[in-house]
Chain A
Amino acid sequence: MKSNEKNFIKRLKRQKEDALEYVVDQYLSLVKGVIYKVLAPLQQDYIVDECINDVFLSIWDNIEQFKGGTDDFRKWLCVIAKFKAFDYYRRAVKNREVSSEHPDLLIDPSVEEVIIQLENQEELVKLINTLDAIDRKIFIMKFFIGMNTKDIAMQVDLTGAAVDNRIYRGKKKLQQQAIELKLGGNPT
């Protein structure tokens, strides 16, 4: 059986490789577009290629966490592409000045550091789960996807100032908890 629009999500969940090929065929142009928008200023094509590969591998590895149908999949994929691109960008510019074209990417290094270190670990999920639903959403948009306050405010139906305020308070809370987690010892 071959993957098509109706069955590819199911087949991905069953780890059928042809479903991943289907996703590449259908969505590569979108993934490339989303990634390119973030990474183009670096002018390093190999980073774009690596990031594309990483996005599809992440989908393969994490498909069981996806909920919904084809439309939702497209959105989920874009969020992952944005998340990965942002992550690659952040790593690439870590020791460089952040381009003035992307001022949103300048974030508090202490929390950022902690988040990067905790990435992909259960602790991070636990940590994020300590926030309430709106704060959680704001945090993911801000720190994982690099969205600016204005766009976040529109999504959660709050004013920009209210979003900033929540970020400030949430950051303090997370920072404290992240430090505790780290001190608590996390064998890698």
Chain B
Amino acid sequence: MKGIYKFFNDVQLDKKEFIELDVSDFEKAQVKKRLKQSLKKKKKGVRRWRQIAVAFLFIGLSGTILGYTFPAQAGSIPIVKNIFQFIDGDRSFLYENYKEFSTAIDLSEVSKGVEITINDALYDGETIFITYSLKSKKKLGDQLRIHDTSSSLKDADGMAWGSEIKRVDDYNYVGLLTVGNFGTSVGDTAYLVWNIDKILMEKSNTIINGHWRFAFSVEATSKYTQIVNKSSSLDGINVTIRQITHTPMSTIVYVRQQLDQHILDYWDNIDLDFTMTDDMGNNYDGLNHGGRGYPHDIRTGKTFGKVDERATTLKIMPHVRLMKSSVNDYEPIEEKNAFGETVVRNSTVEIKDFKEINLEPIVIELKE
């Protein structure tokens, strides 16, 4: 309850407090946009981004299962779906029926009084999701971090690992490991080695050194790929839908983004995103993959929820956000702010130019 706002009805501010500052339409639009994002986040929970390498940003997908109940919380999270949301509510829309398609791994390793168990794994041909649980004899605190070394995914030439772990009670934690391969195919079976060597307790900043080593394989779920190769372009930006892969839980759209040199020369930041609808009036939520390639030619993709079986066409609407920013370093100068107070500045970062481009939608006939 945020009851304090009720009290604010009775407070009078002095007239001198009511100051208005000039606001541009652009600023208003920025504020609205930010608010919308915040409201969306609130609805879905917190979205986490992980920067993996320079210029490569990967947003892990997740799917999870735990055939496991925790005595202390048995009443509150006994259902698989709830545990999934427990770890990452933001992405749960993607794998509502993943339980049917996941593989039970059930491997446990004990070291230094800490038992780590790999529960289940799911591989959709693109990303591998692994759920694990951690049981300790001692209290480990609210926040843990799992550190691994020389872990690998066979045949992958680039990987993005993301691990999240959450406390269930004083002695139990559940976690989700996401492994992506930047779009290179590792085949229908993924062979993984996960080698945990440290558990960090964030609050007390203490480390448990141990050995928890897992090696296992996961078969990809059945999938069907439709080659599309349809493009849409405008003003030097070309977006091609390469293929669509349907898995029992998701729909993965593979995209190629090509940019003319003049776009790269002028703009500093180029963000491609796309939304997807079908002829049954559904809007799909999705999560962007990372990209690989060169600035002028990037292969990327997005994983959406499973497409409605009654749909016969998909409509993909690409939009690109372009931003030019500038950092100006200069000799410190004094200037007056809006209130006549003196401030010293020696560098500024500002958005010099901003543009949003909506490309023509790409319509795809779905094949049986």
Contact = CB atoms under 8 A, between A and B. Distances in A.
B343 A145 contact: no
A contact residues, range: 35 or more
Given A52-B31, A57-B38, A151 B9 contact: no
Interface in A108-156: 119-122, 124-125, 128, 136-137, 140-141, 144-145, 147, 151, 154-155
Contacts of B23: 28-29, 32
Interface in B102-145: none
Given A43-B343, A57-B38, A82 B10 contact: no
A28 B39 CA distance: 18
A60 interface: yes
A17 B39 contact: yes
Interface string B15-31: 00111111100011001
B13 A32 contact: no
Contacts of A137: 7, 10-11
B21 A24 contact: no
Contact of B4 (A52, A78, A120, A141): A120
Nearest to B22: A29
A32 to B, nearest CB: 5
A17 B343 contact: no
Contacts of A164: none
A128 B6 CA distance: 12
B1 interface: yes
Given A41-B341, A125-B3, A141-B11, A78 B39 contact: no
B5 A155 contact: no
A83 B8 contact: yes
A60 B35 CA distance: 10
B36 A17 contact: yes
Contact of A62 (B5, B10, B20): B5
Contacts of A80: 5, 8
B15 to A, nearest CB: 10
A128 B10 contact: no
A67 to B, nearest CB: 5
Contacts of B13: 75, 78-79, 82, 145, 147
B333 interface: no
Given A66-B9, A141-B11, A61 B2 contact: yes
B20 A136 contact: no
Contacts of B10: 137, 140
A115 to B, nearest CB: 10
Interchain residue pairs A-B with the least CB separation, the first 10: A125-B3, A33-B19, A62-B5, A65-B5, A65-B6, A79-B8, A33-B21, A29-B20, A29-B23, A122-B1
Given A33-B21, A58-B5, A147-B14, 6 more contacts: A28-B31, A34-B19, A43-B345, A76-B9, A78-B13, A136-B7
